[in-house]
Amino acid sequence: MSEIDLDNGYVRFEQATDFTVGLEEEFAILDPGHLGLAQRFEELRNGAQSDPFLADAIAGELISSEIEIRSGRGETLAAAQEQQREARRRLFALAASYNVLLGATGTHPWADYREQRIIDTEHYHRVEDGLKYVAWRNNTFSVHVHVGIQGADRAVKICDRLRPVLPLLLAISANSPFLEGRNAGLHSMRSQIFTKSFPRCGVPDAFGSWESFAQYIDFLVRTRSIIEYTQVWWSIRPHLTFGTVEVRICDTQATAPEADALSALIVACVAQAARDIDEGRPHVDLPPRLIEENMWRAIRYGLDGELLELESGEAYPARAAVDRLLAWTAPMRRELGLSVELPPQNGAQRQRALLAQGMTLPEAFTATVEATRATYAGSAQSTVEVN
């Protein structure tokens, strides 16, 4: 029996409030001695039960060596970030009390996926039963941003408009250059493992309306392709439960300041797309084959390569993606008071630079884990040198 209620989803969007925010961040649970993955999610979850705030924020994510925290709904980005910072602080304190560390890269640099255990929930058993190797191989960590949108048609059209923006956000957030004990040559191995392997994943089609979107979801249900909406793993999707547009393209971020800046940029993109729709600004739904060219460039080269201006075919330095998005979103960033201060290099660039300076891969990962601990575990205003 399907667990998807499209009618209620429609109502939630019609009753939603614009630009509320919810944040989700996934962390690797690490052994403090060798920094390998440690299958201790259940211990941390159970240990959090004495702290109602943290217990409500914690969630499981596929494998027992992964833990997620969620801000819950914030009426503004600032409110959601305040809640998330407190959840981070409590989570890192809990981890320390259990003698484990937390990592924040899109993939673990050397862990063997064959040694990881799927957590014992109905949902993730269903994922494993349906996907087998594809699920087993998916030891990845990401950040998701939910933005409230009033109006079901409007939410679908925002997702349509943001399709060509997704590769830019991926290039900016790339933070997974290592896998299986080697420099993989890609900047976002997480995207290659997850986005390019899971069904109903990556950049969705442009649907144009709630009716068209709902017809496709109904098709998936009628054909018994899915029985719950979370089996639709697109990199952006209307979320039926929350009445939000959920952006799911980005690697988890190595430091708290850049995680906060990235969430601000994503909220700005969703809000600007909404404003452009409201003001009738013209938009062309580009073919998936064109957007996929930029997706591959973002996965392979991150901010070190070139991206394409898809309508003209002209190339530009990927590092200009930040400036392009900042220029486009300037009106809504001013209106919502959003500050976006990203570091000169993203996580993948910094990790690769450490190898180029002569560090071993374990040494580079150790430095990254320390930057994560120093920023996520501290106060709401913690900073770190990330150049």
Mean pLDDT for the stretch of residues 298-306: 98
SS3 (DSSP) at 136: helix
- Is 58 within 8 Å of 67 (Cβ atoms)? yes
Tally of CB atoms within 10 A around 383: 12
Q: From CA 179, how far away is CA 189, in angstroms rounded? A: 7
At residue 2, the pLDDT reads: 59
At residue 383, the pLDDT reads: 34
Q: Examine the pLDDT at 387 and tell me if it is beyond 60.
A: no
Mean pLDDT for the stretch of residues 17-41: 97
Mean pLDDT for the stretch of residues 245-265: 98
Mean pLDDT for the stretch of residues 140-169: 98
At residue 3, the pLDDT reads: 74
Beta bridge partners of 250: 143
- Please say whether the dihedral angle defined by the alpha carbons of residues 146, 203, 331 and 279, taken in this order, is positive or negative: negative
Q: From CA 42, how far away is CA 47, in angstroms rounded? A: 8
Which of 301-305, 365-369, 375-379 is predicted least confidently? 375-379
Chain center to CA of 262: 10
Q: Examine the pLDDT at 190 and tell me if it is beyond 60.
A: yes
The string of DSSP letters for 170-232 reads HHHH--B-EETTEE-S-SBHHIIIIITTSSSEESPPP--SHHHHHHHHHHHHHTTS-SSGGG-
At residue 378, the pLDDT reads: 81
pLDDT (tens digit, 9 = 90+) per residue, 77-104? 999 999 999 999 999 999 999 999 999 9
Mean pLDDT for the stretch of residues 189-198: 96
Question: CA triplet 344, 35, 252: central angle to 5 degrees?
Answer: 40
- Is 171 within 8 Å of 325 (Cβ atoms)? no
Q: Examine the pLDDT at 324 and tell me if it is beyond 80.
A: yes
Mean pLDDT for the stretch of residues 351-377: 97
CB-based burial of residue 182 (10 Å sphere; 0-12 exposed, 13-18 middle, 19+ buried)? exposed
Per DSSP bridges, beta strands 233-234 and 201-202 are: parallel
Classify the phi-psi angles of 53: left when phi > 0, otherwise alpha if psi is within -120 to 50, otherwise beta: alpha
Q: Examine the pLDDT at 1 and tell me if it is beyond 90.
A: no
Q: From CA 101, how far away is CA 220, in angstroms rounded? A: 40
Tokens at residue 118, please? 């799927």
Question: CA triplet 141, 103, 321: central angle to 5 degrees?
Answer: 55
At residue 384, the pLDDT reads: 31
pLDDT (tens digit, 9 = 90+) per residue, 210-245? 999 999 999 999 999 999 999 999 999 999 999 999
Classify the phi-psi angles of 192: left when phi > 0, otherwise alpha if psi is within -120 to 50, otherwise beta: alpha
| Residue written as token pair 């991150």 | 302
Counting residues of the chain whose pLDDT is more than 90, the rounded percentage is 96
Q: Which residues contact 70 (CB under 8 A, 6 or more apart)?
A: 22, 23, 24, 57, 59, 84, 87
Tokens at residue 277, please? 């729709």
Mean pLDDT for the stretch of residues 247-255: 98
Q: What is the mean pLDDT of the chain?
A: 95
Helix or strand (DSSP H, E) at 290:
helix 288-301
Measure the N-to-C terminal CA separation of the chain; round to a whole number of Å.
52
Q: Give me the amino acid identity at 244.
A: T
Q: From CA 270, how far away is CA 274, in angstroms rounded? A: 6
pLDDT (tens digit, 9 = 90+) per residue, 59-73? 999 999 999 999 999
Q: Examine the pLDDT at 195 and tell me if it is beyond 60.
A: yes
Q: Residue 305 — pLDDT band, cuts 50, 70, 90?
A: very high
